[in-house]
Every structure is written in C-alpha cells, then in structure tokens.
Amino acid sequence: MKKIQWLAGMIFAFSLILILLISSFEIAMYADFGVYEREYEKYDVLSDLDMTMEDTMYVTREMMAYLRGDREALSVITTVEGKEQDFFNEQDRFHMGEVRALFIGGLNLRAGACIAAALCLAVVLGTRADWRKVLSRSYQAALAVTGFAVVLLGIAVAVDFNAVFVQFHHIFFDNDLWLFDPAEDYMIRMLPEGLFADMVIRIGGFFVFGLAAVLAISLLAGRMRKKLIRQTYEKV
C-alpha cells in the first residue's frame, strides 16, 4: 500500500510541476499585453515595419487570439509600409498553425495533468496515508529533478540562446518553414530573436516563482506534521 501511496505522490508532484510550467507560458504570454509594447520599443520594431504601435498591437492581439484557438484564421488586414494589406502570408499561416497546435496541445496536456493530480490526491487521501509527508516529500524529490533540468537549460540559454532556439524548432517541427526572410516577411520583423529570449526569461521567472511557492508550502506542511507528532507524544 505504501508503494502505491508514494507512486501516487510522485505522479501528483510531477503533474503539479507540469501545470505550473504550462501556466507560466500562458501567464507570460497573455496576462499583460503591455510587455509586447515594451519589447517592440526595445527592438525598434515599428521602424522595421513602418507601422504605428496601435496597428502593431492590433496584429499582436489577433495573432495571440489565434494561437489559443479564439479565432479560426490568421488573417489580419492592417497598414504596413503605407499599404493596407494582410499582415500574414501563407508561410506565416502554415508555421503559426503548427505553433497553435503545440499551444493548444499544451493546454490539453495541462487539463490532463489536473485530472491526474486530482486522482492521485484522492488515492493518497483515500488510503489514509500521511498526506503531509507523502505529498511534501514527493514534491521535493520531483523538484530536485526538475530543478536540475531547469539549471542545465538556463545555462544553455545563457551561453547560446540561438543554438537552443534552433534546436527547439528541430525537435518540434519537421520542416524548415520556421525560417523566415526579414526582407520578405513582416512577422519575423515583428518578432525578433531578442523578443523570444526575453520571453523565455519571463516564462522562467513565473515558473521558478511557482516552484518556490509550492516548495514553501511543502516545507510548511512538513513542519506542521512534525509539530503534530510532537504534540501527540507529549500527550502520551
């Protein structure tokens, strides 16, 4: 029975970490659209596009709505380089369609992780396990594995973000249509590599904060458990 309890605890812990990771992506990308304005100003995107900030943000909001499945087609008519035209071309639509599939897949994966976490929690509680011990220690063990991976990825990003960025695309896409020509494509001008690097840092910040917050809760639960055990012995 104890093996089942600890297995449920570990699945719960990794499911929770996955929920935090995907939620960090969503919060970083959607919680504050002001971050895009600041990034566009930082990388002088408006000059490269010959667009107003208002039009650029309109395109951004429509693109982000498309990525999470809130609109069906990626077609946005706006003024670029003094001409009223569709901001996106066919290559944009194909690649962003693949990105949309990844993003929606991530949201579905988070939903599955929520279900798995709930079932595992039910197992731990239903088998009358010492839930404070099982859940807190399981999370701390899972965090050690995750933390090691996060540190390695952080070092790789700091050393050569471009190499990590390219490898990411090789892993998740089976074509080279993610390679754009800035001379021909508006979207890559709007989304320079520096913006992606900054977004990775932003996502990482939210993720690490979430991990630390849950760690604090697990440590508090461990202290409460020890206090309860001590009080029980004192009564005896």
Work out how many domains the chain is built from and give that number: 1
Max CA pair span of the chain = 84
Counting Cα atoms < 13 Å in the Cβ hemisphere of 17 gives: 22
Structural domain that includes position 138: 2-235
Give helix 193-235 / helix 34-42 axis angle, nearest 10°.
140
Tell how strand 77-80 and strand 83-86 pair up: antiparallel
Residues 134 and 5: beta-carbon distance below 8 Å: yes
Task: State the sign of the Cα–Cα–Cα–Cα dihedral 39, 41, 43, 48.
Answer: positive
The dihedral region occupied by 85, where left means phi > 0, alpha psi between -120 and 50, and beta the remainder, is: beta
47-84 residues labelled b (16+ CB within 10 A) or e (exposed): eebebeeebbbbbbebbbebbeeeeeebebebebeeee
- Residue 235 confidence (pLDDT): 59
pLDDT tens column, 95-121: 999 999 999 999 999 999 999 999 999
**Helices 53-67 and 34-42, axial angle in degrees (round to 10):** 120
Segment 184-205, tens digit of pLDDT: 899 999 999 999 999 999 999 9
For residue 77, pLDDT beyond 90: yes
The number of angstroms, rounded, from the C-alpha of 149 to the middle of its chain's C-alpha atoms is 15
Give the phi and the psi of residue 93 in degrees, each rounded to 5.
-65, -40
User: Whats the size of the chain, residue-wise?
Assistant: 236
DSSP 86: E
Distance CA 227, CA 73 (A): 58
Instruction: Please answer whether residues 111 and 197 qualify as being in contact, where contact means their C-beta atoms are separated by less than 8 angstroms.
Output: no
pLDDT in tens, 209-218: 999 999 999 9
* pTM of the model as a whole: 0.92
**Predicted local confidence at residue 229, as pLDDT:** 63
Q: Which residue has the higher pLDDT, 232 or 31?
A: 31
| Integer Cα distance of 236 and 228 in angstroms | 13
Please provide residue 180's backbone torsions phi and psi, each rounded to the nearest 5 degrees.
-115, 155
